[in-house]
Amino acid sequence: MELRTLMYFTVIAKEGSMTHASNALHITQPTLSRQMKALEEELGVKLFTRSNYNIQLTEAGTLLKKRADEILSMSQKVQDEFKVLDSKVKGDVFIGCGETKGMSFISKIIKDIQLDYPDVHFHIYSGNFDDVTEKLDKGLLDFGVLIQPANLNKYKAVHLPSSDIWGLIAKRSSELARKSYVTREDLVNLPLICSRQAIDETHASNEFTGWFGHLFSDLNIVATFNLAYNAGLLVKENVGYAVTIDSIIDVSKENGLCFIPLSPKLEAKHNIIWRKNHTFSKASELFLEKLLEKTNA
């Protein structure tokens, strides 16, 4: 299986048509069709469902599209790293992150590096714990910024000097909006919208579930989320109250929502992680060096 064939396949999947794909690739349609037929024979599966007007991916085709995107991304990453191997520090750094104030600390490091190394470029990928660690494990990211609770056993990690505060997102028109804080007992009978990562009881040291103690099993969790923006929309539509960290959902007066901190106070600490066996480019090594300087200062 050649990289060129995988690239042809991804273009067909994007265009949804052999004709459009052949035009985009500047090759003849019969040539492209032969390439795809050979690919299907090599894999022993049918990749497309064809009609007079367009093509659709089969289940096998959808899986191959995901794997092909990953392979092509990694191939490009390797090529870019070797282009700058013997030159001054330049290149790309790939960072995955959740929705967190911890990225403000990372942003300051990025700014400092770019002042001295304008040829170092940063690429930020937003996602939850599963999204970030999946790409990290496959080598598509160099670093991941995570919010606790998170299992860090597989990775090297540095604690960041930042944290978020847990609380409740409610409509400003609700009775709870008059409170300056909410307790465990306040939350037990409410319809709650919670982060899937936060309520994962497989983490031995989950500070979030630990905060609730024996009351955790009594919670009425009506919906879960991985990124908080959609949780805010659910609150606005009266689905429930979102338990989340501060500063990531718009709680302006115009948006009609408010943030009420938990009491006792519960903080979500931040970590930046990387694979234990990861091979860093010069640009990534520079970022790690600056990161360790800042966190050890």
In this prediction, residue 229 carries a pLDDT of 86
Last residue of a domain, one of 82, 110, 142: 82
How does residue 286 score in pLDDT terms, banded at 50, 70 and 90? Answer: very high
Given a cut of 60, is residue 54 above it in pLDDT? Answer: yes
Q: Which residues of 137-174 are buried (b: 16+ CB within 10 A; e: fewer)?
A: eebbbbbbbbbbbbeeeebeebebebbbebbbbbbeeb
Given a cut of 70, is residue 84 above it in pLDDT? Answer: no
Same domain? 71 vs 145: no
Same domain? 172 vs 255: yes
CATH code, domain with 285: 3.40.190.10
Same domain? 197 vs 283: no
Last residue of a domain, one of 44, 60, 82: 82
Same domain? 186 vs 283: no
Percent of the chain with pLDDT over 90: 40
In this prediction, residue 272 carries a pLDDT of 93
Given a cut of 80, is residue 127 above it in pLDDT? Answer: yes
Give the Cα separation of 112 and 231 in Å (integer).
Answer: 34
- For residues 197 and 128, the answer to whether their CB atoms sit within 8 Å is yes
Same domain? 145 vs 280: yes
Count how many domains the chain has. Answer: 3
Same domain? 219 vs 255: yes
In this prediction, residue 25 carries a pLDDT of 85
Last residue of a domain, one of 20, 53, 82: 82
Domain extent at residue 130: 87-161+270-296
Same domain? 113 vs 140: yes
Same domain? 153 vs 285: yes
In this prediction, residue 14 carries a pLDDT of 87
Residue range 26-47: mean pLDDT, rounded: 87
Same domain? 56 vs 106: no
In this prediction, residue 77 carries a pLDDT of 76
- The overall average pLDDT reported for the chain is 88
Same domain? 92 vs 232: no
| 56: Cα within 13 Å, side-chain hemisphere | 5
pLDDT tens for each residue of 226-270: 888 899 999 999 999 999 998 889 898 899 999 999 999 999 889
Same domain? 94 vs 32: no
Collapsed DSSP state (helix, strand, coil) of residue 86: coil
Same domain? 224 vs 207: yes
Q: Which of 229, 151, 220, 234 is nearest to 187 (CA)?
A: 220
CATH code, domain with 31: 1.10.10.10
